[in-house]
C-alpha cells in the first residue's frame, strides 16, 4: 500500500487532525509499520463514541498497515476517582471493555494498564522524571479537558494522570498517539517532554468527538477549543447525552427521538452522527417516510442529506428515525454478542 492510500485511510472520518501533517507523512515514508495507541479510561457504561467512533478510527489505522493498540487505563481510572476509585470494580468493568474491543477491533492488541506497569521500574522512574519537568500550572492546563476548571477541586492523584499518559506512549513504543480532540493539550505536553528528554519523536493524531444528544450547555466566552469540546461531548454520566453501547433497538429510537436537532448544522448532534459515524461506517442510508411526505429515500452521501435537511426537504423526525435505524444496524451485532452481560455490568456501575 502506498503512502497516499495510507494517509487517505488515516484521514477518513472521524479524523480531525494530525499535530504534524508533514511528520505523519514522513513517518509513513520511513517506517514500514509504525506503532499506534489510544488509551481508554474505565468509567461507566461505554457509549457509541467510546466503542464505535474509537473502534472505527482504530480499524482505519489497522487497514493502513499500522500496529494498533488500545490501552485500558485502569490505574488512570483510579487516580481520577472514577468508579469511586474501587479497584475491584475497575478491573471487572475493564474486563468488559476488553471483550468489547476485542470484538470491534479484532486485529488490535488490547493492553491492561496494570499489566503494563506491573514490576516495571522503568515506567515509574519515567513518571517521576516527567513529573520533575512539569509545573503544576502546566499540568493543570491539561486537566481542564476533564471538566475541572476550578483548581481547588483537583486532587493530587489527578496530577499523576497527564504524566502517566506521557509515560504510556514511551512504554508502548508508540509513534502515533491517538485520542479524541479533547486530549490535544496532553499530547502537546508529551511532544515537549519527549523533545526535552531526547526521546523518540511522536506524531499525535486526533479524531472528532460526537456531541451530546442534549442541547449544548452554555460555555464561557474565553473557553478554548478543547474546553468547548469537552463540555459538549457525549457523556456516560449524563442520561440522554449518549447512546449506551448495549442499548436496545427501542432505547436507541427513544434516545434519538428526544435528541436536540436545531435547524442548522453547527453542533447538531443528529447530523454529526450521520457525518462522523453512520456514513463512514455504512456508506449509504435509507430513510423511511410515509408516501404523503415523500416516501422512502436513499442517501449515498452526507452532503446530500445535509442539503435536504437545511432545505427543509427532510423533516427532523425523519432525520432522527433514519439515524436510529442506521445506528441500530451498527449496534445489533454488539447487542447480540454482549446483551446478556448488561444486567451484571449495570450492577457494577450502580
Residue of 112, 100, 22, 5 whose CA lies nearest to 54: 100
Check if the beta carbon of residue 57 is closer than 8 Å to that of residue 15: yes
Please tell me the predicted confidence (pLDDT) of residue 218.
75
Residue with cell string 461505554: 46
In the chain, where the domains are located:
3-207, 246-349
Domain 246-349 has CATH 1.10.3720.10: no
Identify the H or E element spanning 18: strand 15-18
Query: How is residue 229 written as a grid cell?
Result: 469540546
Q: What are phi and psi of 293, to 5 degrees?
A: -110, 20
User: What is the Cα Rg of the chain in Å?
Assistant: 20
Residue of 150, 127, 32 whose CA lies nearest to 79: 127
Task: Give the residue ranges of DSSP H helices in the chain.
Answer: 3-10, 21-30, 48, 54-63, 74-79, 87-104, 113-117, 121-132, 136-143, 156-171, 184-196, 225-232, 249-257, 269-273, 279-282, 302-310, 316-338, 342-349
- CATH code: domain 3-207 is 3.40.50.620
Check if the beta carbon of residue 158 is closer than 8 Å to that of residue 165: no
Say how far apart CA 181 and CA 188 lie, in whole Å: 12
Please tell me the predicted confidence (pLDDT) of residue 235.
80
Please tell me the predicted confidence (pLDDT) of residue 3.
97
Please tell me the predicted confidence (pLDDT) of residue 233.
84
pTM of the shown model: 0.93
Give me the average pLDDT of each 10-residue run along the chain (350 residues).
Answer: 97 97 97 97 93 98 98 96 94 96 98 96 97 93 61 85 97 97 95 95 97 84 68 79 96 97 94 98 95 94 97 96 98 97 90
Query: How is residue 264 written as a grid cell?
Result: 442548522
Amino acid at each position: 500500500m502506498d503512502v497516499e492510500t495510507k494517509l487517505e485511510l488515516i484521514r477518513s472520518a472521524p479524523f480531525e487532525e494530525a499535530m504534524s501533517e508533514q511528520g505523519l507523512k514522513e513517518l509513513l515514508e520511513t517506517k514500514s509499520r509504525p506503532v499506534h495507541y489510544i488509551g481508554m479510561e474505565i468509567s461507566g457504561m461505554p457509549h457509541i463514541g467510546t466503542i464505535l467512533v474509537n473502534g472505527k478510527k482504530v480499524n482505519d489505522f489497522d487497514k493502513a498497515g499500522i500496529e494498533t493498540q488500545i490501552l485500558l487505563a485502569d490505574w488512570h481510572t483510579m487516580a481520577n476517582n472514577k468508579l469511586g476509585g474501587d479497584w475491584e470494580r475497575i478491573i471487572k468493568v475493564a474486563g468488559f471493555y476488553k471483550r468489547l474491543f476485542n470484538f470491534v477491533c479484532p486485529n488490535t492488541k488490547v493492553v491492561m494498564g496494570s499489566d503494563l506497569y506491573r514490576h516495571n521500574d522503568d515506567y515509574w522512574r519515567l513518571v517521576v522524571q516527567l513529573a520533575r519537568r512539569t509545573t503544576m500550572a502546566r499540568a493543570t492546563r491539561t486537566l481542564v479537558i476533564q471538566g475541572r476548571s476550578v483548581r481547588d477541586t483537583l486532587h493530587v492523584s489527578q496530577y499523576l494522570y497527564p504524566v502517566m499518559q506521557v509515560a504510556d506512549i514511551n512504554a508502548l513504543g508508540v509513534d502515533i498517539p491517538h485520542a479524541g480532540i479533547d486530549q490535544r493539550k496532553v499530547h502537546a505536553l508529551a511532544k515537549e517532554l519527549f523533545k526535552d528528554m531526547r526521546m523518540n519523536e511522536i506524531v499525535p493524531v486526533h479524531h472528532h468527538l460526537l456531541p451530546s444528544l442534549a442541547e449544548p450547555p452554555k460555555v464561557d466566552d474565553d473557553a478554548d477549543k478543547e474546553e468547548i469540546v469537552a463540555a459538549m461531548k457525549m457523556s456516560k454520566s449524563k442520561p440522554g447525552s449518549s447512546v449506551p453501547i448495549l442499548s436496545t433497538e427501542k432505547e436507541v429510537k427513544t434516545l434519538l427521538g428526544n435528541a436536540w436537532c436545531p435547524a442548522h448544522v453547527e453542533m447538531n448532534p443528529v447530523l454529526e452522527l450521520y457525518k462522523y459515524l453512520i456514513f463512514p461506517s455504512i456508506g449509504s442510508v435509507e430513510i423511511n417516510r410515509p408516501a404523503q411526505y415523500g416516501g422512502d429515500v436513499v442517501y449515498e452521501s452526507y452532503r446530500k442529506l445535509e442539503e435536504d435537511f437545511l432545505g427543509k426537504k427532510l423533516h427532523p423526525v425523519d432525520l432522527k428515525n433514519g439515524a436510529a435505524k442506521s445506528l441500530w444496524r451498527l449496534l445489533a451485532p454488539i447487542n447480540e454478542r454482549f446483551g446478556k452481560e448488561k444486567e451484571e455490568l449495570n450492577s457494577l456501575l450502580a
